[in-house]
Structure 1
């Protein structure tokens, strides 16, 4: 391998390490919430407000770090976000009251969002430098980190205690970042963007891509939060089987994200997005109309195959909008996209009181007509002519 090729490979693995670390900390948050509820005697309703604070903080800081990417480059922004983000589980573990916990969770959510924008921007910069797609597999590394954090976290908290678990995760993440930081791609913003005023884009393209990302992420949130309820309450599945709805979706998503870059490189972003959307629509429709739980679980698994690469393609497209600073376009699309994860649970819960989950999942299948109709916008994610 040439020296340039080795350097390109190092930058590719460095940004993948950032995604893994982010996923590891976010995954570790999942088992920490019930431990914090027990320590501070927090009720379910207050815990719900804490989760909302996490989402609000995330959405608030995404545009700020998008502007920082535009001004200083993604490497600078992601280093800042990662350094501040790394010890966040320790702060949460030391919070002495529900109000202090709310403040730390709000900051935690903000740094999750800020790091998310910056590391996606760095992945776009690496794609541009190598002229090769890497975004899907970066999100695959995030999924691996989330799986590791959530899978090991509960046992670690039970065995070591909440604070010791937080310190252990912090040390692991710090060690990985220490290895990754020197190899990050140091991108510099173009001169015309360096002193760009901090304002929302005036071109409609990033907002349309954001709508595409939003419609793609709502079904993912709906499966995450409600698949088990649907399988248990409407299909009569036992609790042990009900959890397989999201597990099937998450498993196929992880596999397809590692395969997605090669698929996009071969067939182009637009065609990959279209086929992915059709597969996701078929999976959601199968889950909605399934006569037995296992058929619904298969439908969720099929939906995961389709959903896996839709958002990474949208993020790549947003980072390459012509004439727009990369961090600004990405911050718009990530904010709009992740608001789907934030808004979907409550909205679907409200609808579920008035209609069946089978109707809701069928409706979500039809919602994916939005990214299908907007799929031509994904051509900016390609590194070759055509789409």
Structure 2
């Protein structure tokens, strides 16, 4: 407690390193899974439709486990739930590599998605606790470490699978994830609920307050464009703007690069200008980026639009998560689990709907239309003030 009373606020503490390592590990395992998907589909004899069902099972696992994790955080604290989820998640790549039939494959991918989601809620809750403890923003950089983990996992995954095979890659990735968990274990900020607030801060059932649902809409409307860029950006460049296969890969690369860079800078910006101003500025940049993508006459202009979108969307979601974790009179995991579940459903569910609409309209007009969602999110921007509660 004595650290809170000091006027100096150290930028790097044990607790901050601990939670950053957990974000890195979670992102790394998702990144390591991505290059394994083609082999997984071949081994289990999955065509595109069946693989689509498997990917849906991953999303359903997340959406089922996120609220459960939220309720457990309210009971045991985020540090306990994060550690528990991380340990169970670590061997999942090995299950996915050695399952021999579709039913076991479905169970393994549901479990993988569920534990990724449960750990996601818990580590975001822990980042909120560390923000309160340090009295400074750290959420954006935590999400930057998640992006960095995804980049390392996917970049090394393809290479290792090509040169060593899927089995050795799964074992190496699992060992690397295990080492990250082991390094984070003693550093994770312990935030078990106090006995006196335990009963009052944990109402049974879903919260009556509209605040977490409204912040959830804000997160959802910002994560739908993120999902659209991830799943449809390259196709838009190739099919509608005539880009080469290599150039079309730059859609998501430009978006990811600017997003990662801005997430590392986001905490300093938020501490300087406050969460509401930061969110409004980011939303304005994202709207401009989406309009440029939609009206681009060539792939170069579209790639500039994707880069601007990365800058814009980068810090909206971390701010929404910080706000959800600091809602007055609500246990830490409860608001956060609602917002993460609503937000991630945007990435998991919306892209398939976009594919259906795009068949009739083309993707350009869809990217323009997605800017309307950011405009609506901007209308909710005053809710971001709750993110600054961490500082008081």
TM-score category, normalised to shorter length: over 0.9
Matches within 5 A, 1:1-387: 9-191=13-195, 194-195=198-199, 196-383=202-389
The Cα offsets for residues 112-161 of structure 1, whole Å up to 9 and x where unpaired, read as 00000000000000000011000000000000000011111011112222
Shift of 1:49: 0.7
Moved more, 72-81 or 193-202: 193-202
Checking the alignment, whether the CA contact within 8 Å between 2:41 and 2:51 is kept in structure 1 is yes
SS in structure 2 at match of 1:199? coil
The Cα offsets for residues 152-176 of structure 1, whole Å up to 9 and x where unpaired, read as 1011112222121111111111112
Structure 1 distance, partners of 2:3, 2:125, is 24
Checking the alignment, whether the CA contact within 8 Å between 1:70 and 1:193 is kept in structure 2 is no
After superposition, the Cα gap between the structure-2 partners of 1:78 and 1:297, relative to the gap in structure 1 and judged at 3 Å, is same
After superposition, the Cα gap between the structure-2 partners of 1:193 and 1:347, relative to the gap in structure 1 and judged at 3 Å, is farther
Structure 2 distance, partners of 1:114, 1:193, is 23
Give the root-mean-square deviation of aligned CA atoms.
1.7
Provide the aligned length of Structure 1 versus Structure 2.
Answer: 385
The Cα offsets for residues 27-67 of structure 1, whole Å up to 9 and x where unpaired, read as 11101111111222221111111100000000000001101
Shift of 1:190: 4.0
SS in structure 2 at match of 1:354? helix
Structure 2 distance, partners of 1:375, 1:320, is 15
SS in structure 1 at match of 2:186? helix
The Cα offsets for residues 181-217 of structure 1, whole Å up to 9 and x where unpaired, read as 1111000224465343541111000000000000010
After superposition, the Cα gap between the structure-2 partners of 1:62 and 1:193, relative to the gap in structure 1 and judged at 3 Å, is farther
Structure 2 distance, partners of 1:314, 1:189, is 22
Structure 2 distance, partners of 1:38, 1:151, is 21
The two structures have a TM-score, normalised by structure 2, of 0.95
After superposition, the Cα gap between the structure-2 partners of 1:65 and 1:384, relative to the gap in structure 1 and judged at 3 Å, is closer
Moved more, 271-280 or 182-191: 182-191
Gaps of 5+ in 2: none
Checking the alignment, whether the CA contact within 8 Å between 1:132 and 1:383 is kept in structure 2 is no
Shift of 1:385: 8.5
Structure 1 distance, partners of 2:203, 2:30, is 32
After superposition, the Cα gap between the structure-2 partners of 1:381 and 1:7, relative to the gap in structure 1 and judged at 3 Å, is closer
Checking the alignment, whether the CA contact within 8 Å between 2:132 and 2:391 is kept in structure 1 is no
The Cα offsets for residues 300-331 of structure 1, whole Å up to 9 and x where unpaired, read as 10011000000000000000000000100100
The Cα offsets for residues 254-283 of structure 1, whole Å up to 9 and x where unpaired, read as 000000000000000000000000000000
The two structures have a TM-score, normalised by structure 1, of 0.96
Structure 2 distance, partners of 1:289, 1:296, is 8
Structure 1 distance, partners of 2:391, 2:123, is 26
Checking the alignment, whether the CA contact within 8 Å between 1:227 and 1:245 is kept in structure 2 is yes
